[in-house]
Amino acid sequence: MEYTVPMPDPILKVEHLSMKFGGLVAIGDLSFEARRGDITALIGPNGAGKTTVFNCITGFYKPTEGMITMARRDGSAYLLERLPGHEITARARVARTFQNIRLFSGMTLLENLLVAQHNKLMKASGYTILGLVGIGGYRRASAEAIDLAKFWLEKADLIDRADDPAGDLPYGAQRRLEIARAMCTGPELLCLDEPAAGLNPRESHALNALLNDIKDHTGTSILLIEHDMSVVMEISDHVVVLEYGRKISDGDPTSVKSDPKVIAAYLGVEDEEIVEVLTEVGDDRVIEELDAEPDRDHGPPDSASMLAGPVTDTIAHSDDEERVSVMRGASKAERIEEREARDRAAGISGQPDDKRGGGE
Amino acid sequence: MQYFVQQLINGLTLGSIYGLIAIGYTMVYGIIGMINFAHGDIFMIGAFTALIVFLILGAVFYSVPVVIALLVMMIVAMLLTSLYNWTIEKVAYRPLRGSFRLAPLITAIGMSIALSNFVQVTQGPRNKPIPPMVSQVYNIGGISVSLKQIIIVIVTVSLLAIFWYVVNRTSLGRAQRACEQDRKMAALLGIDVDRTISITFIMGAALAAVAGTLFLMYYGVVVFSDGFVPGVKAFTAAVLGGIGSIPGAVVGGLMIGFIESMWSAYFSIDYKDVAAFSILAIVLIFLPSGILGRPEVEKV
Amino acid sequence: MAEAVSTERVAANTNYATAIREALFAGAISFGLFVLLVGLKTDQNIRNELILVQRWGVLAILVLLTMAGRFAYVAYLQPTLAARAAARAKAPAVAVEPSALRKNWTKLAVLGLFLYPVVIVALVGLQGSLKWVDNFGIQILIYVMLAWGLNIVVGLAGLLDLGYVAFYAVGAYSYALLASEFGWSFWILLPAAGMMAAFWGVILGFPVLRLRGDYLAIVTLAFGEIIRLVIINWREVTNGSAGISGIPKVTFFGIFNFDVSSPHYIGKVLGIATSGAYYKIFLYYLILLLAMLTAFVTIRLRRMPVGRAWEALREDEIACRSLGINTTTTKLTAFATGAMFGGFAGSFFAARQGFVSPESFVFLESAIILAIVVLGGMGSLAGIAVAAVVMIGGTEILREMQFLKAVFGDGFTPELYRMLLFGLAMVIVMVWKPRGFVGSREPTAFLHERKAVSASFTKEGHG
């Protein structure tokens, strides 16, 4: 997929974002952009820091360093890391959903969507006081709010269950309701944290339809975290890949898909499988190397046992360093980089890297 | 300076009693996550049991050595008070375990009301004074230390040592800590959760009974409503130290004891409780999980 | 056929065997519990020394009662309950069309409350009505109003407040001090007392909103105690433990009053006989209207964004934040609104008693109000009203049971057992209905039909 159309300005710009918890560096110097009108996917293996990025964007964490700029359609820009949590939704128009669904389970679907329109209704009810005595346009605003809720319930295919408690819904429907609820806040950027997790194929399909509908008809840009590659490939326009809090790839789905670093990192492959992966991708040098003995003169020994680093302690605790330092052998993407560097140094192959992914 | 040290000793004595009661609150909170509001009244039952044992000893034997009398009072009080707490847990808390969080809180408040009124009905509403049991006072460099205070501190320290050993070095303590972390998992691993919780209540009550006996010995008087104020103070101590943390309960107890004695000594005795409660509020505003409590992580 | 009978008999026999074993065990436990505290009574002799009085007979009766009760429970009640539960599980859920009585229950109840004094006066006469209107009517309605006020904080917003009585005290003292100092009218001071209490609600709320769960509970409890201790010790203003007496009565909007010596006494104005009952009946309607106002505002607020935000806060605070709701102001409004109604009730209380002292604002009051909220079913106005009638009315009725003296002898004072039974009733009702009388939640808006939300979905909040 090529971007031939002139791209509008990015809706969300993340620059040099770092997040440390004590000595643990969850995100290190991350920069990326999400374009207006696009579905941008944030992917990466478990523990890559995706949700942490989300929490920084939506104000649940205050980042240690960096700048997150949200550019609204009307031209106003907000530095999200400086806004109080609730104002990110109220003023900067960024809405989110949660990995472990957070619905108001004792309230009905309709009520869930009405709560989402809180700020608008508060104003209409004259901050409760006028509404309490029955003056002002609260009645009309309330009817409009119900109409908007109805609209989104229909979009999410939940209109029949509008008066049931949200906690009574099946899992997939709860996911869709959470998205509908976020949409009721009138967002310009919708952040979805693993919307397809735990869905069966049919529910997953319904979700894709809803997301495409949102993108096409409301002009809301979407930023999503996803594990399910089929969802990512099917709906996203742009993919950012994280590993250990660091960006390892950034581009359109097809290019990211074939980036060996991404494959290694994302699939979390074993040492020997990296070779297989590279073979699949069609890296000639690897194919050559497959039959060769490990080259002991160059670089460290390459045996699986040495490189299979311990599962724990993979992220170093650094106090003075901002960079994520990863235990040797833990970051699969780094190992691909290393291997390439070593190969280049050893001059195993003089051919240009024409078949490697476009993610660099 | 002498005056200050004097107040420090008074605070230590008071703080020891609060600390002993606070452990009961904090252990129960740690293991089942509820505020056992009746714990203050369990303390009062302990004091009353000790009082009655004291009177029996006085009536049956003409004179008993103080050490033996105290020991017998403590042991009987520990046994009967534990029985109370065990029964209360079984009747009022266990049926509600795993349901609605506020339900056991309400039954605990109900039990607290019932216990204090039970004692009022059976023992009468008046103050129950006893003749002083130990009256020796030592003068060390201008600071008077009474034997009562020494006994209180020694008993508290030795009980805490035993208690620390039980919680940290025995399989029972391990079971308790496991239940505290994850009750369901502990049950899956073959820990008898019901029994562990019962034992926790018994241990808390036993410490409260000792505190009750010491309280009776120190002040020489007890009344049916005595459960509330020390109970609330001890609970405050537990929260101040970080509820769920046993060292926290001791630290919190001592802090409340010091605040009270210092405030009464240097400012106004009328406002000593106001000072204790205000300091609680101030500490919690800056350390929302108490002094030694584990910070609550807001998982998004 | 014969076989079935014999297995049944065996089952019954083992059942009795278990029951006897259980009864003996319970007897042993109760003996342990009561042997010292019931078997012996500490009493003071002439020389003011404590002596022990032996009461082994009472102990034996108590132990035997426990055994009999346990036996009956295990042998008869438990199987019956189990059978009934099984039958209920088997029976298909039948949707019952609510009867006309049920549909209009609220209206009928309100009508009944308005007619109550009239009926009482008709039944027992003006003078005889005093007790029924005052002890039962007004007393229960004060608690209903307080519990409805606290319900906003605990039931809707899910913030556990153990110091609610502080706002009641603020309202009562505001009225008592301002009315006796400046002679201002109740009708001016009522809103002022409410504002004052709401102000204190915000003052308390502001620093503690960061706290969650039981930490919030203890700080609110501490706040309640601080207010009471300040009232006791600030003698120059509050007159300390002695309290403030001679608080002016409420007038009927200045048209007539209830002060016998005044030229505007209601008896003189309307030309009727002098009676203390008029004032009580007037107060009854006053508190009824105040309680109705609380209910009305609560119902209205629930359908407004702020009320929905309260409930959403109870369900999930983090989700609230993600929807752009300012959780701090939302919590503060809940605190302030709840406190305001506490303040109204407080100023009414001061006007009714004509006397306030710190004794009326102890932690026990907070506990009783909270218990009513939880026993009623958090959030449900009707359930809370029922709980108040059962708990407060029940303990008031104990005062009336003088016939018990005939049973237990003249030394028996039923009042003494009032709070003991109150505490036990709290435990029993809670164990019996952990979700309270009305566990389900009424939705605030609907598209097709209004369906009650089952208690298993609603949450109770973290605060």
Confidence of residue C342 (pLDDT cuts 50, 70, 90): very high
**In what order do the strands lie in the sheet containing A10-21?**
A24-35, A10-21, A65-71, A77-79
Nearest to C325 among A86, A95, A159 (CB): A86
Percentage of chain B exceeding pLDDT 70? 98
Whose tokens are 């009138």? That residue is A186
Predicted local confidence at residue B206, as pLDDT: 94
The pLDDT assigned to A320 comes to 41
* Domain total in chain A: 3
pTM: 0.83
Q: Are residues A148 and A207 in the same domain?
A: no
Average pLDDT for B91-99: 86
- For residue B52 the two structure tokens come to 């009655």
Q: Are both A9 and A84 inside the same structural domain? A: yes
Residues of B in contact with C416 (CB under 8 A): 120-121
Q: How confident is the model at residue C461 (pLDDT cuts 50, 70, 90)?
A: low
Residue A319 is predicted with a pLDDT of 40
pLDDT of the residue at A301:
35
More confident position, C264 or C327:
C327
Question: Are A119 and A48 in a shared domain?
Answer: no
Residue C401 pLDDT exceeds 50: yes
So where are chain B's domains?
2-224
User: What is the maximal distance between C-alpha atoms in chain C?
Assistant: 89
Interchain proximity A118–C301, CB inside 8 Å: no
pLDDT at C411 over 80: no
Look at C351 and C11; give whichever has higher pLDDT: C351
Q: Is the pLDDT of residue C295 over 50?
A: yes
Domain limits at A205? 1-93+186-257
Q: Are residues A86 and A194 located together in one domain of the fold?
A: yes
For residue A22, the model assigns a pLDDT of 78
Whether residue A332 sits in one domain with residue A191: no
Contact A95 C320 (CB under 8 A): no
Chain B residue at shortest CA distance from C459: B100
B95–C431 CB contact, under 8 Å: yes
Please identify which residue in the block is written with the tokens 């009864």: C23
Mean pLDDT taken over chain C: 83
Average pLDDT on C111-119 reads 81
- The domain boundary, picked from A143, A164, A181, lies at A181
Nearest by CB to C427, from B111, B119, B232: name it. B111
Write out pLDDT tens, residues A311-358.
Answer: 333 333 334 434 444 454 566 666 666 666 776 666 544 444 444 433
pLDDT at residue A325, as a whole number:
44
Distance from CA of B299 to the nearest CA of A (A): 10
Q: How far is CA B234 from CA B15, B40, B172, C202, in A?
A: 9, 8, 25, 27
Measured between CA atoms, how close is A329 to chain C, in angstroms?
Answer: 37
Quote the minimal CA–CA distance from C299 to chain B in Å: 23
Q: Which chains touch A (3 or more CB pairs under 8 A)?
A: B, C
pLDDT band, very low/low/confident/very high, at A126 (cuts 50, 70, 90): low
**How many CB atoms are closer than 10 A to CB C110?**
13
* Chain A residue numbers touching C315 (CB-CB < 8 A): 103-107
The reply to whether A195 and A251 lie within a common domain is: yes
Position A351 in a domain? no
Instruction: Check C419 against B107: CB less than 8 A apart.
Output: no
How many C-beta atoms surround the C-beta of residue C16 within 10 A? Answer: 13
Q: Are both A21 and A141 inside the same structural domain? A: no
Could C221 and B84 be called an inter-chain contact, meaning their C-beta atoms sit closer than 8 Å? no
What's the pLDDT at C211?
79
ipTM topping 0.85: yes
User: Where does a domain end: A204, A226, A257?
Assistant: A257
Instruction: Nearest chain C residue to B107 by CA: give it.
Output: C427
Give the 3-state secondary structure of residue B173: helix
| C138 Cβ under 8 Å from any chain B Cβ | no
Q: Mean pLDDT across the stretch A224-242?
A: 81
Q: Tell me the mean pLDDT in the region C278-300.
A: 88
Contact between A113 and A150 (Cβ < 8 Å): no
| Structure confidence at residue A222 (pLDDT) | 87
Show which of residues 384-413 on chain C sit within 8 Å of chain B, judged by CB atoms: none
The reply to whether A300 and A315 lie within a common domain is: yes
**Separation in Å, CA of B165 to nearest CA in chain C:** 28
Of the ranges A27-36, A162-171, B291-300, C381-390, which one carries the lowest mean pLDDT score? B291-300
Confidence of residue C99 (pLDDT cuts 50, 70, 90): low
pLDDT at C129 over 90: no
Contact criterion met (CB below 8 Å) for C148 and C295: yes
Instruction: Provide, as residue numbers in chain C, all residues whose Cβ is less than 8 Å from the Cβ of A138.
Output: 304
* Position A288 pLDDT exceeds 60: no
- What is residue B214's predicted lDDT score, i.e. its pLDDT? 93
Asked whether B28 and B36 are in contact (CB, 8 A), the reply is yes
Pair A44, A25 in one domain: yes
Instruction: Check pLDDT > 80 for residue C256.
Output: no
B60 Cβ under 8 Å from any chain A Cβ = no
Token pair for A224: 């999503």
Subunits next to C (3 or more Cβ pairs <8 Å) are A, B
Which of B25, B106, B130, B268 to mutate: most C Cβ within 10 Å? B106
pLDDT > 60? residue A29: yes
Q: What is the phi-psi region of residue C189: left when phi exceeds 0, alpha when psi lies from -120 to 50, beta otherwise?
A: alpha
Rounded CA separation C189/C186 (Å): 5
- Domains of chain C from N-terminus onward: 2-90 (no CATH), 106-400 (1.10.3470)
pLDDT at residue C348 above 70?
A: yes
**Domain end (from A150, A181, A212):** A181
- What's the pLDDT band for A302 if we cut at 50, 70, 90? very low
Interface test with A, best of C435, C447, C462 (most A CBs within 10 A): C447
Higher pLDDT pick, C215 / C230: C230
Percentage of chain C lying above the pLDDT 70 cut: 87
A360 located within any domain: no
Question: Which range, A64-68, A78-82, A264-268, has the best average confidence (pLDDT)?
Answer: A64-68
Q: How far is CA C362 from the centre of its chain?
A: 14
For the segment B208-216, the average pLDDT, to the nearest whole number, is 94
* The predicted structure's pLDDT at residue A272: 53
Give the residue from B100, B298, B300 with the most A CB atoms within 10 Å of its CB, the best one to mutate. Answer: B300
Residue of C nearest to A167 (CA): C457
The minimal CB distance from B277 to the residues C214, C226, C371 is found for: C226
On whether both A192 and A77 belong to a single domain, the answer is yes
**A221-230, B23-32, C186-195, C220-229: least confident range:** A221-230
Mean pLDDT over each residue of chain B, to the nearest integer: 88
Under a CB-based contact definition with an 8 Å cutoff, are residues B276 and C225 in contact? no
A interface with B, Cβ–Cβ below 8 Å: 51, 55, 60, 98
Tell me the average pLDDT across C448-455. Answer: 76
Distance CA A279, CA A274 (A): 8
Minimum-distance CB partner of B121 among C417, C431, C435? C417
Tell me which of C40, C162, C218 to substitute to probe the interface with B (most B C-beta atoms closer than 10 Å): C218
From C53's Cα to the closest Cα of chain A, the distance in A is: 56
Higher pLDDT, C106 or C325: C325
The 3-state DSSP class for residue A60 equals coil
CA nearest A98 in C: which residue?
C319
How do residues B192-207 score in pLDDT, each as one tens digit? 899 999 999 999 999 9
Q: How far does A349 lie from chain B, in Å, by closest CA?
A: 48
**Is the per-residue pLDDT at C326 higher than 80?**
yes
Q: Which residue has the higher pLDDT, B191 or C126?
A: B191
Quote the pLDDT of residue A308: 31
B118 chain-C contacts, CB cut-off 8 A: 37, 420
Q: Please tell me whether residues A157 and A194 are part of one structural domain.
A: no
The stretch C130-135 carries a mean pLDDT of: 78
User: Does the pLDDT at position A40 exceed 50?
Assistant: yes
pLDDT of A179 strictly over 70: yes
Lowest mean pLDDT among A69-73, B113-117, C331-335: A69-73
Please spell the DSSP secondary structure of A219-257, one letter per residue: --EEEEE-S-HHHHHHH-SEEEEEETTEEEEEE-HHHHH
State whether residue B300 sits within 8 Å of chain A by CB. yes
Q: How far apart are CA A21 and CA A315, in angstroms?
A: 12
CB pairs below 8 Å between A and C: how many?
137
Please enumerate in sequence order all residues whose Cβ is within 8 A of that of B296, keeping only pairs 6 or more positions apart, or say none.
B288, B289, C212
Distance CA A228, CA A266 (A): 11
CB nearest B273 (choices: C210, C225, C378): C225
The reply to whether A68 and A194 lie within a common domain is yes
Residue A100: inside a domain, yes or no? no
Is C226's CB within 8 Å of B106's CB?
Answer: no
Residues of chain A neighbouring B298 (CB-CB closer than 8 A): 60
Smallest CA–CA distance, residue C229 to chain B, in Å, is: 7
Over residues C28-83, the pLDDT tens digits come to 999 999 988 888 888 887 777 788 888 888 889 889 999 999 988 888 888 888 88
Q: Residue A14, SS3? A: strand
Length of chain B: 300
- Listed in order, strand segments (DSSP E) in chain B are 128-129, 137-140, 143-146, 221-222
Task: Answer whether residue C340 shows pLDDT above 90.
Answer: yes
Instruction: Name the band, by pLDDT with cuts 50, 70 and 90, for residue A4.
Output: very low
